[in-house]
Amino acid sequence: MKDEIRTHLNDPGQLEKLYRSNKAPFTQEFRTIYPELRGNALADFWNERLRYETDEINWGTTRDLLLVVTASLVAGILAKLPAFLPVDEAFFYPRNISFIIFPLLTAYFAWKNKLPARKMALLGGAMLLLLVYINLLPDAPASDTLVLACLHLPLLLWALLGVAFTGNELNNYNRRLGYLSFNGDLLVMTALLAIAGVLLTGITIGLFAIIGIQIEQFYAEYIGVFGLAAIPIVGTYLTQTNPQLVNKVSPVIAKIFSPLVLLMLTAYLIAIPFSGKDPYTDRDFLILFNVLLIGVMALIFFSIADKSRNEQDTTGTWILFLLAIVTVVVNSIALSAILFRIAEWGITPNRLAVLGSNILMLVHLLLVTRALLRSLTKKEDMGAVGRTIAFYLPVYFAWAALVVFLFPVLFGFR
């Protein structure tokens, strides 16, 4: 996209076509390269145009809306398959819930980015392989390797979605960071749509209750399920056609929560010795510890993905640096706890999976912390920090693939 913008910088018509064909990527890439284009009359015009915030929502073309409605209906039907087919819900949902949304979003971005037929076929083939594989695993609900495969499968589908999102620029670190930013924006939009859905549900059920009609069960089983399946699709469409809706909200949320999470995490670490609990002997506490770690890492990465495309904010960078250090401490505690549990009680699929994940996260955090320090000492800019995050992402996907495909065989499907 950046090369196309530079090539057609003096061609207003072609720039307009690029913008209309994919607004969010165009906006993101233009903002990245604008500092080197400043002074060019057309570039200055586009900068002001993209900075202008309108109160109007762009609903796109009729064809786009039909595509979104169709995809939402398909997602709802997929979510209700156990009601239409003789399929056990306990078997279907743990293995297939990720396939309700990810293939549709992947198809959407593959279409928007005009991916070559060969790449589309590879993406479709990879998803089909995952679908067949996860459903062929032995039906053993108590199997740790089955649970681990189901938990790590969404990460593989998320990676395939990232391939479609980045289009033909998979090795472009800015596009990878753009994918992280998209996920942050989608979370915000999904939360807003979910709140609106909850309000609509309460009002609808209440109104029908007033006239003596109880629709709770029907509403939950059909309207609710179809609505939940549609939210990520509608949210994606809105973030891509109206980047101005949330591209200012996500950075504000990150800026507010980063210092608050830093204070909370520091206080939490200080309080642990006085709580009587520790991750070394309390398995549930260790699980919560790792969930906390993943959440904080996500906040750091989403914040950096946004800051790496904007002006230097020294205070914000210091907060992220301190938060990264505290998170390294949390990760080190979790890693030492799982090593202790392996030494005491031996290797199990769960312990090995947690051990590998913690090692990968610790290495990544150390690299990011080092990059943040270099940014603070003016040896590198925030763009280098973003590239550090983007460069390492495939490592997580490789580990997820090992857990999904190798662990069941390695541990005899137990």
Answer yes or no: is 127 within a domain.
no
Structure tokens at 376: 């603070």
Nearest to 178 by CA among 29, 51, 5: 29
Q: Give mean pLDDT, residues 282-296.
A: 85
387 vs 307, more confident: 387
Residues 273 and 319 in one domain: yes
Asked if 183 and 250 count as a contact pair (C-beta separation under 8 A), the reply is no
219 DSSP 8-state letter: I
Residues 379 and 315 in one domain: yes
- Residue 252 pLDDT > 80: no
Answer yes or no: is 293 within a domain.
yes
| 3 state SS for 282-307 | CHHHHHHHHHHHHHHHHHHHHHHHHH
Residues 217 and 283 in one domain: no
Asked if 405 and 156 count as a contact pair (C-beta separation under 8 A), the reply is no
Q: What is the pLDDT of residues 292-341, one digit of tens each?
A: 888 888 888 888 876 655 555 788 889 999 999 999 998 999 999 999 99
Angle at 274 between CA 273 and CA 277, to 5 degrees: 65
Buried b (16+ CB within 10 A) or exposed e, 262-283: beebeeeeeebeeeebebbeee
Number of H helices, E strands in the chain: 19, 0
Write down the pTM of the prediction.
0.83
Answer yes or no: is 133 within a domain.
no
Residue type, 237: Y
Answer yes or no: is 32 within a domain.
yes
Which helix (H) or strand (E) element contains residue 217?
A: helix 216-218
Angle between the N-to-C axes of helices 117-136 and 102-112, in degrees from 0 to 180, rounded to the nearest 10: 170
62 vs 161, more confident: 161
The domain in which residue 41 lies consists of 2-51
Residues 6+ apart with CB under 8 A from 53: 244, 248
Q: What is the pLDDT of residues 111-160, one digit of tens each?
A: 888 899 999 999 999 999 999 999 999 988 788 999 999 999 999 999 99
Q: Which of 244, 277, 293 is the last residue of a domain?
A: 244
Q: Which of 214, 244, 274 is the last residue of a domain?
A: 244
Residues 6+ apart with CB under 8 A from 96: 78, 81, 131, 134, 135
Answer yes or no: is 387 within a domain.
yes
Number of folded domains that form the chain: 3
Residues 192 and 256 in one domain: no
Residues 231 and 356 in one domain: no
Q: Give mean pLDDT, residues 264-270.
A: 89
Residues 229 and 277 in one domain: no
Gap between the terminal Cα atoms of the chain:
47
Q: Which of 216, 244, 272 is the last residue of a domain?
A: 244
261 vs 141, more confident: 261
Answer yes or no: is 134 within a domain.
no
Residues 284 and 206 in one domain: no
18-22, 348-352, 405-409: lowest mean pLDDT where? 18-22
Q: What is the pLDDT of residues 64-109, one digit of tens each?
A: 889 899 999 999 999 999 988 888 998 999 999 999 999 999 999 9
Q: What's the pLDDT at 394?
A: 93
Residues 98 and 221 in one domain: yes
Residues 257 and 397 in one domain: yes
Residues 108 and 206 in one domain: yes
Q: What's the pLDDT at 73?
A: 94
